[in-house]
Amino acid sequence: MLLDLDGVIYIGQQPVAHAAQAIEQCRSQFGVAVAFVTNNASRTPDSVSDQIQEIGLAARPADVVTSAQAVASHLARELPAGAKVLVVGGPGLVVALTECGLVPVTLVSERPVAVAQGFDPSVDWRMLAQAAGALHLGLPWVASNLDMTLPTELGRAPGNGSLVAALTTATGRVPISMGKPEAELVLEGIRRTGAARPLVVGDRLDTDIAAAHAAKVPSLLVLTGISTPLDLCNAPADQRPDFIGADLRALLVAHPAVDMTDGSTDATVAHCGGWSVEIRAGTVSVLFSGEAPIDGVRALARLCWWAADRDAASLLGVAELCEQLWPVGQR
């Protein structure tokens, strides 16, 4: 299992319900290996593994794969040993660059030859101003990821992509991004675990699930973080997960198949676990309700994908049905 962290295992400093127990059961009952693959570049693998252990999960620094490490590895391949790199970020990026034989600096006057940017709460105007100065000189620019938001106890907050956007606005430049949705973090997790049958698990369609598609491995979306059932229904083909779960307990149970049938000449129906959802005359509605709302979400998503793949007109009633199946307060 290649597990995302923010929104899957914890949100800010708070553990996600059932996550630790489900992962430990996968390990003990099925012998599944685990790598923690995160776009968050703010902290070192040591500090990330410490937080994972605080919520009751065994984790070593070697089990953690960060986008900061991907940035540092890329720059180490492109630059000579000892090259100076201007850092817009925190300890995670500084340590990763140092471990790859590069020298982190914070000022343009120190004559860096590249700019590395990763999210950290300490990033401020002064850091961004130094980076803008370096970018105006034409230095190469590598970002850990382009996530516009990240989940916190207060809700969605600006992510690295928002800070990157500030520099893009100021300089007209666009960085290379090494984090998800690129495949590299997923592939690194596969290499470290020796996975023959990997599964990417995440809460974001546009990063976690897209990265799984890029790496050509199956994925599970859990509804404990950023992406919502409505996002799921509107997902393009390269952001559709193979499996959908309410939370990580979805790893421990069989997932009922979604069956599609033509109810009549003007209706198509998706069936899943006692739920039946139909499209009739361009409107979606529930024919039969089952016990588990997540099965209704699975049926509705598949129905919406079926319609989108046939270039159908926008469906009516999707947002209302998503709210009925998965109220905002439930997340």
User: How crowded is residue 152: how many other Cβ atoms within 10 Å of its Cβ?
Assistant: 15
Residues near 221 by Cβ (< 8 Å), separated by ≥ 6?
Answer: 202, 203, 205, 208, 209, 227, 232, 241, 243, 244, 245
DSSP characters over 187-213: HHHHHHHT-SS--EEES-IIIIIHHHH
Residue 118 half-sphere exposure toward CB, CA atoms < 13 A: 31
48-83 per-residue burial string, b: 16 or more CB within 10 A, e: under 16: bbebbeebebebeeebbbbbbbbbbbbbbeebeeeb
Largest CA distance in the chain: 72
Q: Which of 4, 63, 147, 203 is catalytic?
A: 4
Parallel, antiparallel or unpaired: strands 267-272 and 259-264: antiparallel
CA distance to 37, 129, 311, per residue, from 26 (Å): 17, 46, 40
Residue 4 a catalytic site member: yes
Cα 236–Cα 238–Cα 242 angle in degrees, nearest 5: 100
Parallel, antiparallel or unpaired: strands 2-3 and 200-202: parallel
Residue 202 half-sphere exposure toward CB, CA atoms < 13 A: 32
Q: Which of 6, 206, 208, 295 is catalytic?
A: 6
Residue 216 half-sphere exposure toward CB, CA atoms < 13 A: 1
Q: Return the active site residues.
A: 4, 6
